[in-house]
Amino acid sequence: MNLKLSLLLILFISTFAKAQQTISVKGSAPFPATQEYTFICEKYAYTGEAKIQIAKTDKGGILKITIDTANDKARIAGGLYIDLTNADVIACTDKNVKESVDGKTTSYYYFTPTEWLKLKKTDIYAVRFIIAGGSNDFGNQTGYFTAYNKMNYFSTAFDKSKKTFDTAKEISVL
């Protein structure tokens, strides 16, 4: 009986450990992270989506933003703004930490400990970012975009299900 309980406990712990998401920035040690959220970006005609993930570091946190691109010249560039549901704004500066692989471009932005505390208390409403790149025929869409914390493009007034991600709850668990 004791052996069965021990095996069950080990199985439970290993399943929980695998469920934990991580982010690794350019070969660094992995950091514990939230799930990868798919925010709706209505003005971005190529996919209409931006993937957002947030990780905890020793000095604050990291935001990872990924979008699909039509060509490899397109990049997420410049600063990024995170709008919170309480109308507060976190401005992130571009540290030029980027990756581009398989038609996707990814940028990383860092949070101070004070900004991390704000993220633990309040859900993210939207993320505003810039896509820059060369312009040519059938190239990527460039400009200013906003990715909203919405699970679906459409819903009705009678739909009582949850329509946004609980970002503050997941961040506070990290």
CATH code at position 86: 2.60.40
Question: What's residue 26's pLDDT?
Answer: 75
Decide if 10 is inside a domain. Answer: no
Decide if 49 is inside a domain. Answer: yes
Q: What is the per-residue pLDDT across 15-68, written as a single tens digit (0 to 9) for each?
A: 444 446 887 787 778 889 999 999 999 888 888 999 999 999 988 999 999 999
Question: What's residue 138's pLDDT?
Answer: 61
Per-residue pLDDT for 158 more than 50? yes
79 in Cβ contact with 71 (< 8 Å): no
Q: What is the per-residue pLDDT across 1-14, written as a single tens digit (0 to 9) for each?
A: 554 544 444 444 44
Decide if 143 is inside a domain. Answer: yes
Decide if 4 is inside a domain. Answer: no
- Enclosing domain of residue 82: 35-153
Decide if 25 is inside a domain. Answer: no
Decide if 168 is inside a domain. Answer: no
* Domain count within the chain: 1
Distances (CA, A) of 31 to 75, 162, 174: 24, 28, 10
